[in-house]
């Protein structure tokens, strides 16, 4: 990203403070004041509060929750979690979520890297125009197309209530961002490598297959993780297209919480268990998720 | 596998590989191949780009075109499209008080999200940018809400916000503070603000992570120099770090705005747009019309309006705010300072 010359804000509005006024204010960088830790504790508290209430609430009974919603489990009850884990619903929803997110991710990564390759490394007329099509795709949120998508996938493609019916549109809507992230990534691979491969008699397809793909693994992992998280958390399209046993976890959680509205402890247990896959995935892929988001902003 | 050199029509067809490579390089320097149409290149490009384009054509372009088409018809979702009503769907969407309210709610959410998350995000990013113990763990924790599905986070918040029996009302009661009788989400005047608080909880982590990345692009020398000159910690941040974070803040705000305009999941879980339409958004409006009432014409018109609103705001933002980052040495309206200012690349 180009540097905006921050013209105005850098000039002090008041004259610089006297030397006398400013002597001992240098902060020892290694030792921040205790207030910093207080602030950090507050932030952690509010960030984790809902998650912790869910986790702990799952270990209590509805009677305990009604008596004091903020209390500690006394005694600890495991029935709520066991009920969810022993029932078939939770596993069924998890399977659907895994299958749909995997299909969508594979599609996005494969189609995305293929499309990004010529856009990054070929010289041809209309290349920028072609790239603009992908950039334009960023402007169309799934929300705008969701009603026709519902009709098209169910009636014309006969993919209503199937994994593919969700995974295909999700992949399509994830592709623009994927191509926009991957193109600069592929452009950054040194030209010399390509020339060396050409000298050795490898064609451009061979170069793509044998050199570019292995080298662009970090980029593919990043876009793959973003696509997976996006699909895993999606609600609107599954809400329209999936019913019964085909529902994904978010849909399942939402329906469970309205069907069992009086069973607060059960809702907590179900919700907590649904958070776990996402949290594990996040902890293992943290670098890629954060890196990908930062990359998207760098543009 | 054949090599690129043997491609018919390629300028390098009959030359040895080394020269071919050099030619290709020269051609790329010129930016475009000379000589007739390179059939092989065209074929390869088509092969590589086709799957992505087909997916996007079938699942983005086609539905969007259908939405535009349906927006001119009265259609309940079955039978042929024959009841052409011209712009009447648009008129009824734009004059509907519920939709006007929805647009207003979307705009309020756009502004409030930025106004709440930017200062908080800056503060927390500054905190995490210092060498404090447990910094890595803090960074992970702050990002947890962002990773959870909106739906799942929303379901937990609904429980926390239960009138009287929810943990929030209990704690407020313990502090001697009153809570609304209908609950935070059930009182029309409070529902939108409550939704905004939950959204801020969910998306603050994103702002923090991006701002933090921007801060790491600010060279330490600048703050050190300022501190040696006697500037206090906050002065240093205000005059050096924050201005240099400009591009990051503007890009983050853009993403936040686009997200707020499309908001659906969280509202649907928390309030379904209620009570008394106090929290409808454009997305909940079009879903209610389309799914619940089968007014596909109206829903389509609403989605076209949603698209246009988002597009116009995006273009305006691009034109007036993001453009600062793209033109490096535009003659600025504000007078340039006399003394040399450090120009550092942020983000």
The reply to whether B282 falls in a domain is yes
Contact B296, B77 (CB under 8 A): yes
Give the three-class secondary structure for B222: helix
Residue B40 has a CB neighbour count (10 Å cut-off) of: 17
Nearest chain B CA: its distance from A101 CA (Å): 13
Q: What is the pLDDT of residues A223-245, one digit of tens each?
A: 888 888 889 999 999 998 998 89
Domain ranges of chain A: 91-247+276-298
Q: Is residue B50 part of a domain?
A: no
| Token digits of residue B218 | 């600010």
A51 touching B (Cβ < 8 Å): yes
Question: Residue B264: its chain A contacts at CB < 8 A?
Answer: 143, 235-236
User: How close B2 comes to chain A (CA, Å)?
Assistant: 7
* Residues B218 and B192: beta-carbon distance below 8 Å: no
* Contact at CB, A297 and B160, closer than 8 angstroms: no
Domain span including residue B305: 97-325
DSSP A108-151: HHHHHHHHHHHHHH---TTHHHHHHHHHHHTT--HHHHHHHHHH
Query: What does the alpha-carbon distance between residue B210 and residue B255 come to, in Å, rounded to a whole number?
Result: 11
pLDDT of residue A280: 86
Q: How far is the first Cα of chain B from the last one, in angstroms, to the nearest whole number?
A: 43
B344 close to A (CB below 8 A): yes
How far does the CA of residue A139 sit from the closest CA of chain B (Å)? 7
Domain-located, residue B25? no
As for how many domains chain B has, the answer is 1
Q: Is B153 contained in some domain?
A: yes
| Closest to B283 in 3D by CA, of B301, B263, B266, B269 | B263
Please report where in the chains the tokens 């469970």 appear, as a residue.
A256
User: What tokens does A143 get?
Assistant: 């929300």
Closest CA to B162 of A66, A74, A73: A66
Q: Hey, is the C-beta of A107 within 8 angstroms of any chain B C-beta?
A: yes
Residue of B nearest to A234 (CA): B149
Is the predicted pLDDT of residue A12 greater than 90, yes or no? no
Q: Is the pLDDT of residue A151 over 70?
A: yes
pLDDT average, residue stretch A78-96: 91
Nearest to A295 by CA among A204, A194, A220: A220
Summarize the confidence of residues A128-157 as an average pLDDT.
88
User: Rounded to an integer, what distance in angstroms lies between the CA atom of residue A24 and that of residue A34?
Assistant: 18
pLDDT reported for residue B334: 43
3-state SS assignment for residue A190: coil
Task: Output the six-digit token pair for A202.
Answer: 């490898």
Interface probe for B, chosen from A1, A2, A4 (most Cβ of B below 10 Å), is: A4
Per-residue pLDDT, A14: 43
Looking at the domain assignment, is residue B159 inside a domain?
yes
CATH code given to domain A91-247+276-298: 1.10.3720.10
Question: How many angstroms away from the CA of A68 is the closest CA of chain B?
Answer: 8
CA A120 to chain centre: 25
Taking a C-beta distance cutoff of 8 angstroms, is the pair B232, A22 a contact? yes
Of A39-43, A56-60, A295-299, minimum mean pLDDT range: A295-299
Beta partners for residue B84, in sequence order: B73
Alpha-carbon distance A111 to A100, whole Å?
A: 16
- What confidence score (pLDDT) does residue B222 get? 82
Give how far Cα A91 sits from Cα of A85, A135, A260, A277, Å: 8, 38, 18, 12
* Residue that has been written with the tokens 């926009």 in this structure: A180
Going by the DSSP 8-state scheme, the letter that residue A24 receives in this structure is G
Helices (H), chain B: 17-30, 39-56, 62-70, 88-95, 97-128, 135-147, 150-160, 167-174, 188-216, 220-228, 233-236, 242-244, 246-261, 265-270, 282-287, 296-317, 323-326
Q: Which residues on adjacent β-strands are paired with residue B73?
A: B84
Tally of CB atoms within 10 A around B230: 17
* Chain B residue numbers touching A275 (CB-CB < 8 A): 148, 152
Tell me the C-alpha distance between B245 and B248, whole Å.
5
- The reply to whether residue A111 touches residue B52, judged by beta carbons under 8 angstroms, is yes
Going residue by residue through chain B, which has 347 residues, state the pLDDT in tens, using 9 for 90 and above.
333 433 343 443 444 455 555 455 544 444 444 444 578 888 889 999 999 999 999 999 999 999 999 999 988 878 788 888 889 999 999 999 999 999 999 999 999 999 999 999 999 998 888 878 888 888 888 888 988 999 999 999 998 998 888 888 888 888 888 888 888 998 899 999 999 999 999 999 889 988 888 888 788 788 788 888 888 888 888 888 888 888 888 888 988 998 899 999 999 999 998 788 999 999 999 999 888 888 899 999 999 999 999 889 888 888 887 776 655 444 444 444 434 333 333 33
Judging contacts by C-beta atoms under 8 Å, the chain B residues touching residue A3 are: 247, 328, 343-346
Does residue B44 fall inside a structural domain?
A: no
> Which residue among B138, B239, B332 sits closest to A10, beta carbon to beta carbon?
B239
Comparing CA positions, the residue from B72, B207, B257, B324 lying closest to residue A139 is: B257
DSSP conformational letter for B334: S
pLDDT interval class at A297 (50, 70, 90): low
Identify the H or E element spanning A238: helix A236-241
8 A C-beta contact, residue A28 and residue B130:
no
CA distance A246 to chain B (A): 17
Residue with tokens 């008080």: B97
B312 contact A CB<8A: no
List all residues of chain B from 66 to 95 with a beta carbon under 8 Å from chain A: 66-67, 70, 77
Closest CA to A271 of A53, A44, A96: A53
Whole-angstrom distance, CA of residue A175 vs CA of residue A157 = 20
């Amino acid at each position: 990203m180009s540097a905006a010359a921050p013209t105005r804000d850098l000039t002090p509005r008041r004259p610089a403070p006297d030397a006398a006024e400013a002597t001992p204010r240098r902060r020892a960088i290694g030792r921040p004041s205790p207030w910093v830790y207080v602030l950090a504790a507050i932030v952690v508290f509010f960030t984790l509060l809902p998650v912790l209430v869910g986790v702990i609430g799952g270990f209590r009974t509805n009677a305990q929750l009604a008596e004091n919603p903020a209390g500690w489990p006394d005694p600890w009850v495991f029935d709520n979690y066991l009920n969810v884990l022993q029932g078939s619903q939770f596993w069924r929803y998890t399977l659907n979520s895994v299958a749909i997110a995997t299909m969508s991710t594979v599609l996005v990564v494969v189609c995305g890297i293929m499309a990004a390759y010529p856009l990054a490394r070929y010289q041809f007329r209309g290349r920028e125009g072609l790239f603009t099509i992908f950039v334009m795709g960023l402007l169309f949120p799934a929300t705008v197309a969701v009603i026709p998508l519902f009709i098209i996938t169910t009636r014309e493609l006969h993919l209503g209530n199937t994994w593919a019916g969700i995974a295909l549109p999700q992949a399509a809507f994830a592709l623009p961002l994927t191509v926009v992230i991957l193109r600069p990534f592929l452009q950054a691979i040194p030209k010399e490598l390509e020339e060396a491969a050409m000298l050795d008699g490898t064609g451009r397809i061979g170069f793509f297959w044998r050199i570019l793909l292995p080298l662009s693994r970090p980029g593919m992992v990043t876009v793959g993780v973003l696509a997976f998280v996006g699909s895993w958390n999606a609600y609107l399209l599954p809400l329209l297209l999936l019913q019964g046993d085909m529902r994904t976890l978010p849909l399942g959680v939402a329906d469970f919480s309205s069907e069992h509205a009086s069973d607060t402890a059960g809702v907590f247990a179900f919700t907590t268990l649904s958070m776990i896959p996402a949290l594990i995935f996040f902890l293992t892929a943290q670098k890629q998720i954060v890196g990908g988001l930062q990359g998207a902003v760098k543009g | 596998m054949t090599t690129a050199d043997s491609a018919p029509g390629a300028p390098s067809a009959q030359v040895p590989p080394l020269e071919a490579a050099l030619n290709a390089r020269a051609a790329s320097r010129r930016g475009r191949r000379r000589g007739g149409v390179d059939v092989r290149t065209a074929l390869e490009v088509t092969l590589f780009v086709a799957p992505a384009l087909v997916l996007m054509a079938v699942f983005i372009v086609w539905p969007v075109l259908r939405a535009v088409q349906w927006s001119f018809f009265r259609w309940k979702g079955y039978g042929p499209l024959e009841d052409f009503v011209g712009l009447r769907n648009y008129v009824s969407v734009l004059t509907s008080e519920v939709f006007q309210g929805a647009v207003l709610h979307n705009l309020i959410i756009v502004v409030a999200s930025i106004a709440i998350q930017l200062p908080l995000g800056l503060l927390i990013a500054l905190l995490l940018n210092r060498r404090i113990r447990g910094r890595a763990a803090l960074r992970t924790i702050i990002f947890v809400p962002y990773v959870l599905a909106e739906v799942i986070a929303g379901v937990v918040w609904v429980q926390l916000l239960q009138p009287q029996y929810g943990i929030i009302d209990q704690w407020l009661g313990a502090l001697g503070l009153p809570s609304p009788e209908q609950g935070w989400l059930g009182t029309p005047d409070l529902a939108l603000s409550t939704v905004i608080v939950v959204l801020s909880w969910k998306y603050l982590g994103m702002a923090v992570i991006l701002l933090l990345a921007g801060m790491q692009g600010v060279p330490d020398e600048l703050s050190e120099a300022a501190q040696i000159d006697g500037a206090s910690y906050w002065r240093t941040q205000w005059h050096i770090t924050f201005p240099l974070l400009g591009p990051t803040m503007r890009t983050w705000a853009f993403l936040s705005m686009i997200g707020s305009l499309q908001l659906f999941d969280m509202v649907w879980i928390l309030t379904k747009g209620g009570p008394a339409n106090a929290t409808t958004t454009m997305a909940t409006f079009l879903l209610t019309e389309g799914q619940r009432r089968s007014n596909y014409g109206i829903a389509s018109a609403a989605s076209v309006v949603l698209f246009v609103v988002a597009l116009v705001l995006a273009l305006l933002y691009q034109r007036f705010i993001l453009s600062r980052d793209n033109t490096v040495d535009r003659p600025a309206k504000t007078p340039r300072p006399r003394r040399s200012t450090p120009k550092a690349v942020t983000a």
